[in-house]
Every structure is written in C-alpha cells, then in structure tokens.
Amino acid sequence: MDVQLEASWKNELKGEFERPYFQKIATLLREEKKAGKIIYPPGKQIFNAFEFTPLSKVKVVILGQDPYHNPGQAHGLSFSVPDGVKPPPSLMNIFKEVQEDLGLPYPATGNLEKWAKQGVLLLNASLTVVANQPMSHSQVGWHLFTDEVIKHISTAKEHVVFMLWGRFAQNKAALIDAGKHKVLTAAHPSPLSAYNGFFGCHHFSKTNEYLQSVGEAPIDWAL
C-alpha cells in the first residue's frame, strides 16, 4: 500500500508501515479489490483523519469503530459523511446532544471536516470496510495500527481530550495516560444505546471547559 499520510504522522508512525501486520493489511486490500470487492472509504480517503488533523494540532480524539459500509457514506473521518449525504442515526444523535449541550442548531451537513480542521481527530479503529459488511475488516490488523496512533498521541502530547463512546472505545482507555489527558466516557450514540448515557453526557461543553482550563482555544462545534 502506498501510504499517503500527512507528513508529521508519517514521520511519527513510519516504523509501523514496515511491520508484518501492516504488510498483511496492504496485501488483503489488494486481493479483495482484485476479487471485485468494494472497499470503503475510497483509497485516497483511507487516511483522511490524519490529513485533516496533523499530530501537532490534535486537541480532541473521537474514536469510532469502523467506517460506514453503505455507498457514498465513508470518507475517512469517524461518524462523518460527505456533504449531501443524509447523516446516519448515530450522527443525528451526536447532533442532538450538541444541540442540548450547547444550544446549537442541527447542521445542514453531516460533514465533520470543520471539526477535524480545528484539531478533532476523527479516528476509526478500523480504517476500511467491505461494502455492506459492517466490521468486515475489524480483525485484519487495523487495530494494531490505530492502537499505536492512540499511544503516540498519549506519549507525544499533553492535555488531549479523548471521547470514548461505548464499550469498544472505552477499552482503549488503557492506552491513554489519564494523568496527562482528559478521558471522557459515555454510551455509544447508536439508537440502541444513546438513551443509556450518551444523551446528557455534555462531552462537548466539558471538552471546551477543559481545553480552556489548560490554555487552549475551545472547539467551535457549529457546522
């Protein structure tokens, strides 16, 4: 795989691309495409999260599980969809919480690039998925790569807010130095669990309060 990665991330993670697990991911993606499988997001968008949010700018991490698996939805940012694409239910629940928490209106787009450009790393634990097959690449080795990303952020940075929604994301807390960073946990925004603690978590206001307390500019969550 020719990894098109933003320069600071490529320098930070260069050792990962030579490791056997990463070579296996690259081989698998080539073989599946050759076999006619459709992979999301498109190749040039697989590492979009890193492109929009260089390591030096990371202030917040929102961790998703894997990309959307329906046509036109995934574009390399967790929970986000391109302009003109209807926001999926989990994203609508995120917007509902933003509205309740901050009084902001529902946005006209589900594209979260504006958040990413302000330092919100929208990271999925798996960076690819086979069309119409959720979690189909959850066991191919991506988690080894994205776990390294989380550990690098924890080690190299200070005062980053990690939003961990749902049990899967919360299991990543072990990779984070909670003495240096702010870890916020809540239920997943999925319709199956949002009423079990995602709604009312106030993570967006809590994030801004923390960032301001350590001398960082708050995130403008309006889209």
Q: pLDDT tens across 57-98, in order?
A: 999 999 999 999 999 999 999 999 999 999 999 999 999 999
Task: Reply yes or no on whether the pLDDT at 150 is more than 90.
Answer: yes
66 noted as active-site residue: yes
The residue annotated as part of the active site, out of 2, 66, 101, 177, is 66
Is 0.75 topped by the overall pTM?
yes
pLDDT at 183: 98
The number of C-alpha atoms within 13 Å of 126 and in the hemisphere containing its C-beta is 24
pLDDT at 2: 59
User: Would you state the torsion angle of the CA atoms of residues 62, 66, 68, 71, taken in this order, to the nearest 10 degrees?
Assistant: 140
pLDDT at 5: 87
- Mean pLDDT, residues 19-28: 95
> pLDDT digit string (tens) for 91-124?
999 999 999 999 999 999 999 999 999 999 999 9
Taking each helix axis from N to C end, the angle separating 142-156 and 20-34, rounded to the nearest 10 degrees, works out to: 140
Beta strands in 97-221 (DSSP E): 120-124, 129-130, 161-165, 182-186
77 neighbors 44 (Cβ within 8 angstroms): no
Beta strands in 22-97 (DSSP E): 39-40, 60-64
